[in-house]
Amino acid sequence: MKLVVFGDSHTAGSEIDNQYSLQCYEKSFVKKIADYFQCDYENYSVAGASNCYIATEAYKYIDSHDVQDCFFFISWGAARRATIYDYNKKDFLHINEYDIDSPYYNSQQKNFIENYFNFHLPDKEEEWKILGTILGLYNYLCYNKINFLMQDSTQAFAHWHNKYFYKNNYFGLDDPTTYWHQYEIWRAGSKYNTDRWAKHAPEQWHEIWAEKILQHIREQQLV
């Protein structure tokens, strides 16, 4: 079996090793799951990735690989993120509306980001639009009998629309507290309640979350 992962900074293991580091694939909770099953592991998570980008990369992988022996883990992020292509840098920018204050972008990029989000829908409508992206990949994986598990990392789309999904391959349908919200609850009562972990979880939480996911996989006999 090969565990193939698509998601945002949380599955990427951002800030596990150092504050502001973008990824640490080898210490992320999904790597701990791969270690448990002693299986191959590929992680394509990108910090700040939009859900459209996550879904597109998953489709591209499936289209170009033999996935018969793959188990896909898909982790969805914030609805208002977007992915754009910067022709000057020849690379993708993963953005949200707060990036107009980011030191990582130049004035031209910030102007583009501001203009882009001026045309975005209100939160509730944006969520419904993204639900189509999530449901599209979900149905595609089910139709093609590809083994997978999805979760909500920062926003609980599936909890609000659980009639579209099955509990076995969408983690947390009966619980509105996502990966991030459960981490915040744990963080509030632990010694790790510091600015060092303000944006992403330390490895201790990745270990806890890996066990939560493993328990679900065992109970639902997904592997």
The residue segments making up the domain with residue 193 are: 2-80+120-220
What pTM was estimated for this model as a whole? 0.91
Domain count, the chain: 1
> What is the rounded distance in angstroms from the CA atom of residue 89 to the CA atom of residue 73?
30
Residue 93 maps to a domain: no
Residue 104 maps to a domain: no
Q: For residues 3 and 44, is the Cβ–Cβ distance under 8 A?
A: no
The tens place of each residue's pLDDT in the chain, 223 residues long, gives 999 999 999 999 999 988 888 899 999 999 999 999 999 999 999 998 999 999 999 999 999 999 999 999 999 998 888 887 777 777 787 777 766 677 777 887 788 778 777 776 666 667 777 888 999 999 999 999 999 999 999 887 888 888 999 999 999 998 888 999 999 888 888 766 556 666 799 999 999 999 999 999 999 999 9
CATH code where residue 126 lies:
3.40.50.1110
> What is the rounded distance in angstroms from the CA atom of residue 177 to the CA atom of residue 107?
37
pLDDT of residue 124: 63
Enter the tokens of residue 108. Answer: 């031209």
Residue 102 maps to a domain: no
Residue 216 maps to a domain: yes
